[in-house]
Amino acid sequence: MNGPHDLGGQMGFGPVAPEQNEPVFHAEWEKLALGITLSCGAFGAWTLDESRHARENIPPAQYLGASYYEIWIRALETLLERHGFASDEEISAGHKLQEPAKPKRVLTADMVPGVLARGGPCDRPVDTEPRFAVGDRVRTRNFNPVTHTRLPRYAREKTGVVEAVQGSFVFADDNAHGHGENPQWVYTVVFDGGEIWGEGADPTLTVSIDAWESYLERV
């Protein structure tokens, strides 16, 4: 979707200014936000892609005015309500008002190191050969879905060259909406600055994106 999260190439936001010696957390509550988000994710009720889409759906004024972990918590509230774990009234009250849905699993303290070490690999086998090879010229599709997509606005309907075939991975656009993993081949595609940014772009600039196969057409 074309939401407030998709800021690539947007004007008026100033330069990216990394914080020197940035701490892992800026406040104690951020530790709790990370912990509760991971713990609830372990319920097995939603996918990583659905959680990303929940963040993208935060109204723009709220999204742009929120910090990183505020965005996480606002999206988590949406997911908890959607899947029957907590209602808006319960979140406002700060305690249970009715019996919630039962999670498929519960993350206990002793499980955390192993779970974090394993991560959540998204590579999956597919039965088809890659449609494209390194060196192929391809064009990205031009679409504006209201659903989740990993193809940024600035890279739509642009011509580039396949730089690498990365393997096959869960198709996030489907997985975010409960339509299955439907894995596809993923390619790194490189574009020159002029193709992406137009006249006046830095001629030495290139931009690379990782694109699922269905995003691409052969040139």
Q: How many angstroms separate the CA atoms of 57 and 76, rounded?
A: 12
Q: How many angstroms separate the CA atoms of 51 and 72, rounded?
A: 9
**Quick check: 11 pLDDT over 90?**
no
Q: How many angstroms separate the CA atoms of 18 and 39, rounded?
A: 29
Q: How many angstroms separate the CA atoms of 169 and 176, rounded?
A: 14
CB atoms within 10 A of CB 139: 16
pLDDT in tens, 132-143: 999 999 999 999
Whole-number CA gyration radius for the chain: 20
**CATH, domain range 28-118:** 1.10.472.20
Taking Cα atoms as reference points, which of 147, 159, 172 lies closest to residue 56?
A: 147
pLDDT confidence of residue 2: 87
| pTM given for the model | 0.91
Average pLDDT over the chain reads 95
DSSP state letter for 172: H
Taking Cα atoms as reference points, which of 216, 138, 147 lies closest to residue 184?
A: 216
Q: What is the DSSP string of 4-49?
A: TT--TT-SSS----PPTT--S-SSHHHHHHHHHHHHHHTTSSS-HH
Q: Residue 186: enclosing H or E segment and its boundaries?
A: strand 184-192
Q: What is the DSSP string of 41-75?
A: HTTSSS-HHHHHHHHHTS-HHHHHTS-HHHHHHHH
Count of residues in the chain? 219
Domain boundaries, the chain: 28-118, 137-218
pLDDT in tens, 82-117: 999 999 999 999 999 999 999 999 999 999 999 999
**CATH, domain range 137-218:** 2.30.30.50
Is the Cβ–Cβ distance between 50 and 76 less than 8 Å? Answer: no
**CB-count exposure of residue 16 (10 Å: 0-12, 13-18, 19+):** exposed
pLDDT in tens, 23-71: 999 999 999 999 999 999 999 999 999 999 999 999 999 999 999 999 9
- Return the amino acid letter for 195: E
pLDDT confidence of residue 13: 87
